[in-house]
Structure 1
């Protein structure tokens, strides 16, 4: 494969043209493009998906940050699994996920107190036209890398081109939609888009900016632990022990510590990430005082397993952090690339046989609600009953291809809470028989006599999922289906799921209040064959892709909401995942010395919260 540097030689100096129009959404946006108002706008300090940014140009700090927070102290995070790389921008290797956010900075930064609003960071200002067909950034004159060198337009352009061609697949979609990127002044860079897509003006501000001089002579695509990246963010990697820990230190010379977006954030002197192979060992490390916080996902454990001395004496505090974001989807995903899961009736049968009400009572004391759709718990969630109004208008052209329940309305099968779950088992038996899977000699088989067998892939230490599978296995035995589990370490789990080598697997996908182009990475048909996407289920739905195209092109909040609600119906009625529980708040146990502001962000305990706006305060 040609490297990014080799490809650069064939392009004009400081201007990179893609010449690629999106096959998926070009036709959808053609009419909007012809009618677009290409009028100029004034440089500003922020940009919102709809309307204006909530904060003025001279804001003191983000509303959920404490501008007077003290600096100092150490926070230690107990992480599951291991790591084999320090480069979070390529597909190769297992990387501490926090490095994407702690060790790299972008032109703009996101406020997590607004659905989708960005404020200037490495950029001093942003300018775009009314149709958002282009966007121009002026770099902050003080922006510096951690080695003291200035962040340049050349660094920006090199980063975008490199990430978009040989970086992680999550960066490729945006690059294909950039028609040109050029230097328009000593500190100015302009992006022109190939498609009419209002979200692109925001997305292009969120790519990490790397130091070109560090990487241009290195093997970026295959880098691992051999290169410690020069940071463009408040933290730098001080040292690490492969597979055991990574230690990051706050850079006292960080250039942006006094700008509004950063004031009151990144308060710890040291952030240490310690890695453990087993989830239960992570919790024991927290109880022993070896880590600073623990995020509890199980309501039953929160009530009954936090009675150890440190909690009773007040050394550890239990905090509830509410949020307004969508539930996302958490559960067990079925890989429809496997023929046995291709029929929706089979997937519905497997969902019906999963006795959530009984499992929830056994595992959480019935304290947690079930996920009912991908965007449940938010204003983006599909409404109960038949589709109406604008949502129905969007779905009707695809009516012949949509699965039952998409337009009419779909609800997850519910049991009576008893262990036998007779009604749903009978329904599952009938669906499997209709799909050609009949019981022969005590086993469920297809017409060729192949038995129905499922292997569920779990990550080492995931004892809760294993407990669910133990109950589920007994239910499937009554249907003549054999279920086994395989437990993999973090590196194996990542590799296997990245290439979709599994039957069923534990699946968790967080969703925001501003879904956009990333939805194509999650649900787009190219993910059926392209490794490294989030489309673990292997769905290939032109209707879903059309809704994604509409939501990113919407010029009004109303049209955006209708497109997301329609997408939610397609995903939920697709029956790709056996959903489990969710919560409208997070449960965080933490040592009493680390504090967070009283004013919580709309997104709650999410990216940008812990450790970003916390601080250390000795008693």
Structure 2
């Protein structure tokens, strides 16, 4: 059996190819970039916290340590490697809790990274050169120091075998150099991507001495060796994980870590059925629950543990964008190629009836890809800067979208809005569909597709949508599969339509390439579920990552929002402005909630603690 040193040889050869050591400058060489040292990196503007900050505003540095947190998760897991093509089968919370990155994002700011493994960074104004200086205290859980060789190794490995988005981003790096054990330099000349330094700051650091390169692309259930505050101490495949706090964690006193990761143990149990998970919570087997069912929140919390005070409800209203959820069309299917077909199908989602009868009236209809944020174009006419960006693509936007007048159709609430049904049929008739005994057909073929769902709540919603479509002659069949099968179909784009979720981002940027960029449309495992491949979308994303000011960023984001809305790539669903949580009363959190969290409580409640009895 080959040693780990042998297994890493291929990546070492890759490193030799991508390293370019600095040589003497020629007479024609441009002057060296003027670098400035910083403790943090912001996408635009300056970091809010000074270099000597003590802790993040949403942390409680005096929080007690200890106790066990018991969590329940719907689904399963088949992998503990978050960074290969099988990432959908791995627990998301491993990043941050077990694996650490060079720098860490403050969730009180839109997109600013502060020191973690890298204690400081040098960068030039053009963002074409970035140098990370590693903290000499940083080490992996086995005690081995984290060095520049580990960073360079990780970069080469993820560039070759990482997620599609990571490979695309890292391919923009011109060269990497590790002049000493604590310094890593990246040359980004020509990338024209001002967010790329932040992508590098968010790069995890893997141990060169303990990473199996030749099997890196495979799924694994081996507990990872990393540098984070927790160690995976027990694994029951697909059913249970136990994290234990590393007593020798190197970063306890870092400002970016004070007040976080307070539980001595985090037990995560997986449930295949949402009903079983709720019953486990009611029985006291789970300590915390974020309720995503409005009906359940309104009607399902009258069980004994609530009335006896063993469970408390807490509603949080964050300022974060809400993300996107909806029925995504797979444009790789011929029947969905025409945007008029997609628009007509989307018209038939009767949100008004669904909200009143299925959701207790607790939701708002999603109108934008960046809803509830300054980046949304909804109800806003395009500015001069937006029109300048869009001028290269005449005919891409309809006037109502350019003027901010377009909204998802509002039904009359009866469940049978005939006016909207007539509009949808008229659009489909333009495409060539005609009524027949078999429904709407074109060239003898019916307009028929399948909606893939993974829970009974999604199934109920999809069945309602299917019934609405049936009224205009569209045959939409609903298929319920378990989470693991759903993820496999999603990863291989093996679906007609599914309920897709795109996580909220406080400040849109390079992640939009993975969601909607043309290269990602053909990359298996990418999150471009719909298969969007549009030159106009690509150009707006390019403008987004090249933005030098907040004004430029807003203009690019709103222009992108308008182009995406014009494509009718998914049927927008709805969102709640509040986050509904229930938990045991012993759980506490800081008085200040983060303003821009990706998840309400970062999956394992990283800023919470258990109050001692």
Deviates more, 1:383-392 or 1:3-12: 3-12
SS of aligned partner of 2:65: coil
For 1:5 and 1:522, locate their aligned partners in 2 and report how far apart those are by CA, in whole Å: 33
Answer whether contact 1:15 1:180 (CA < 8 A) is retained: yes
Which position in structure 1 is the counterpart of 2:13?
A: 9
For 1:13 and 1:470, locate their aligned partners in 2 and report how far apart those are by CA, in whole Å: 54
SS of aligned partner of 2:41: strand
Deviates more, 1:63-72 or 1:356-365: 356-365
Which position in structure 2 is the counterpart of 1:529?
A: 522
SS of aligned partner of 1:550: helix
Which position in structure 1 is the counterpart of 2:508?
A: 515
Q: What TM-score comes out, normalization by structure 1 length?
A: 0.93
Given candidates 243, 255, 261, the residue that maps to 2:250 is 255
1:109 and 2:100 aligned: no
Q: What TM-score comes out, normalization by structure 2 length?
A: 0.94
The Cα of 1:490 is off from its aligned counterpart by: 1.5
Given candidates 142, 157, 174, the residue that maps to 2:137 is 142
Which position in structure 2 is the counterpart of 1:27?
A: none
Name the count of aligned residue pairs: 596
Which position in structure 1 is the counterpart of 2:394?
A: 399
Within-5 A mapping of 1:267-346: 267-346=262-341
For 2:31 and 2:436, locate their aligned partners in 1 and report how far apart those are by CA, in whole Å: 66
Given candidates 53, 64, 87, the residue that maps to 1:59 is 53
For 2:52 and 2:383, locate their aligned partners in 1 and report how far apart those are by CA, in whole Å: 44
The Cα of 1:44 is off from its aligned counterpart by: 2.4
SS of aligned partner of 1:501: coil
Q: CA RMSD in A?
A: 2.0
Within-5 A mapping of 1:155-174: 155-174=150-169
The Cα of 1:372 is off from its aligned counterpart by: 0.8
1:503 and 2:496 aligned: yes
Which position in structure 2 is the counterpart of 1:552?
A: 545
The Cα of 1:4 is off from its aligned counterpart by: 7.3
Deviates more, 1:582-591 or 1:558-567: 582-591
Q: Deviations over 1:476-497 (max 9, x none)?
A: 2221122211111111111111
SS of aligned partner of 2:217: helix
Which position in structure 2 is the counterpart of 1:603?
A: 596
Which position in structure 2 is the counterpart of 1:486?
A: 479
Within-5 A mapping of 1:124-523: 124-193=119-188, 194-216=190-212, 219-225=215-221, 227-384=222-379, 386-402=381-397, 405-409=400-404, 410-447=406-443, 449-459=444-454, 462-523=455-516
Q: 1:215 to 1:503 in 2, by over 3 A?
A: same
Q: Deviations over 1:332-386 (max 9, x none)?
A: 1111111111111111111111111101111112221111111110111104254
Q: Deviations over 1:501-559 (max 9, x none)?
A: 11110111123122111110000112222111111111111111111111111111101
For 2:612 and 2:365, locate their aligned partners in 1 and report how far apart those are by CA, in whole Å: 40
Answer whether contact 2:312 2:585 (CA < 8 A) is retained: yes
For 2:310 and 2:297, locate their aligned partners in 1 and report how far apart those are by CA, in whole Å: 16
Q: 1:288 to 1:404 in 2, by over 3 A?
A: farther
Q: 1:562 to 1:13 in 2, by over 3 A?
A: closer
1:41 and 2:58 aligned: no
Answer whether contact 1:267 1:615 (CA < 8 A) is retained: yes
Gaps of 5+ in 1: 18-35
For 2:510 and 2:9, locate their aligned partners in 1 and report how far apart those are by CA, in whole Å: 27
Answer whether contact 1:237 1:249 (CA < 8 A) is retained: yes
For 1:571 and 1:364, locate their aligned partners in 2 and report how far apart those are by CA, in whole Å: 27
Q: Deviations over 1:392-429 (max 9, x none)?
A: 22112212334664424421111111121111111111
